[in-house]
Amino acid sequence: MRHNLLPDGRYDEARGDRESAYQGRYEVRDRHIDYWDDTGFTADGEFNDDVLHHAGMILYRKE
């Protein structure tokens, strides 16, 4: 899985071999992130330092 958080408030998520599997908008407030997928799905997560905890997954910033 890959989340690409774009500077314009949009995101692009890849899953397995599916590039751009999900796209939508996001908003970060303090350590909390909310997602609104273009299909109507919603999700959220929390940042702990540079680590994102999202939907039972832990995502690390790519260097």
The 3-state secondary structure of the chain reads CEEEECCCCEEEEEECCEEEEEEEEEEEECCEEEEEECCCCEEEEEEECCEEEECCEEEECCC
The stretch 23-48 carries a mean pLDDT of: 96
pTM, two decimals, is 0.86
For position 46, what pLDDT does the model report?
Answer: 97
Instruction: Tell whether the model's pLDDT for residue 63 goes beyond 80.
Output: no
Average pLDDT of the chain, as a whole number: 93
All domains of the chain, ordered by start, with CATH? 2-60 (2.40.128.290)
